[in-house]
């Protein structure tokens, strides 16, 4: 089932032994278009600390109760490696993180899926990963869904609207589409733009460049309406 990230913000996070906070943000990989981490707002429990949760820990999302189950204990989360707030997620942090939980590292498996597609293997040692010569900025493709929201969508003819959300598959935690608020050319309606047509994301001018024309995006939106039977 597809879910807009905007609708998940604020969902109460429930560990196996109690509440731990709420959904604040998501980090996705803009090369594979997979959610890599959920950013938790832990309130006064772990005040001043950023907490990341991998899809390995994701449980059921209850839309009615607005809860998001996490398959970890509060003690496990509290003991996880610390990450500095307002700093990029470094590969060294990820090495420590995945070793702490004993999960297979996504960059070592060659798979695009966020959860079910991970190979069943033990995480590599630090020496093994160092031998693979990972660049210290291997996190450069990790982006915040909240940060990219508001970026202009730049098609062949120019800007056609702005990103307002991301449609994700709750089974694989893959980003399927970008939700785009259109301008006057399409009566300000929301349309879905497939993540596969994104050519690049530019932080310098806050734009997401896509390979579609305005006409192609309009046709895709109208096709979606027909499929939905509207």
Coil, helix or strand at residue 126 = helix
* Residue 156, pLDDT score: 87
Tokens (6 digits) for 47: 């005040």
Beta bridge partners of 166: 178
* Residue 167, pLDDT score: 97
CB 129 within 8 A of CB 136: no
* Residue 138, pLDDT score: 47
* Residue 224, pLDDT score: 63
* Residue 120, pLDDT score: 36
* Residue 188, pLDDT score: 78
Tokens (6 digits) for 90: 């470094």
Q: For every one of its 230 residues, what pLDDT tens digit does the chain have, with 9 covering 90 and above? A: 899 999 999 999 999 999 999 999 999 999 999 999 999 999 999 988 889 999 999 999 999 999 999 999 999 999 999 987 778 899 899 999 999 999 998 887 644 344 444 433 344 455 544 444 444 444 568 999 999 999 999 998 889 899 999 999 999 999 999 999 987 878 878 899 999 999 999 999 999 999 999 889 888 777 664 344 43
CB atoms within 10 A of CB 116: 10
* Residue 117, pLDDT score: 41
Domains and CATH numbers, the chain: 2-142 (2.30.30.240), 149-228 (2.30.30.240)
* Residue 118, pLDDT score: 40
Tokens (6 digits) for 8: 């998940």
β-bridge pairing 67-70 and 12-15: parallel
* CA-wise closest residue to 52 among 87, 18, 17: 87
Instruction: Report CA-CA distances (Å) from 175 to 4, 5, 195, 196, 210.
Output: 10, 10, 7, 9, 15
* Residue 88, pLDDT score: 84
CB 143 within 8 A of CB 153: no
**The model's pTM:** 0.84
Q: What is the largest CA-CA distance in the chain?
A: 56
């Amino acid at each position: 089932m597809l879910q807009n990230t905007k609708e998940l913000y604020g969902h109460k996070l429930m560990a196996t032994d109690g509440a731990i906070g709420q959904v604040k943000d998501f980090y996705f990989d803009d090369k594979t278009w997979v959610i890599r981490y959920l950013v938790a707002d832990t309130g006064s429990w772990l005040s001043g600390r950023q907490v990341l949760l991998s899809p390995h820990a994701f449980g059921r999302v209850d839309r009615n109760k607005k809860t998001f189950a996490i398959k970890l204990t509060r003690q496990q989360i509290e003991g996880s490696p610390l990450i500095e707030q307002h700093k990029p997620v470094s590969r060294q942090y990820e090495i420590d993180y995945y070793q702490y939980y004993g999960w297979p590292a996504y960059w070592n498996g060659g798979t695009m899926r966020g959860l079910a597609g991970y190979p069943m293997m033990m995480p590599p040692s630090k020496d093994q990963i160092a031998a693979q010569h990972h660049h210290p900025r291997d996190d450069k493709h990790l982006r915040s869904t909240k940060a990219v929201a508001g970026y202009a969508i730049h098609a062949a003819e120019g800007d056609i609207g702005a990103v307002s959300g991301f449609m994700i598959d709750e089974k694989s935690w893959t980003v399927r589409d970008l939700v785009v608020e259109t301008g006057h050319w399409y009566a300000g309606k929301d349309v879905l733009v497939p993540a596969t047509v994104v050519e690049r994301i530019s932080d310098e001018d806050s734009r997401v460049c896509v390979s579609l024309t305005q006409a192609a995006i309009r046709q895709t939106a109208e096709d979606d309406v027909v499929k939905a039977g509207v």
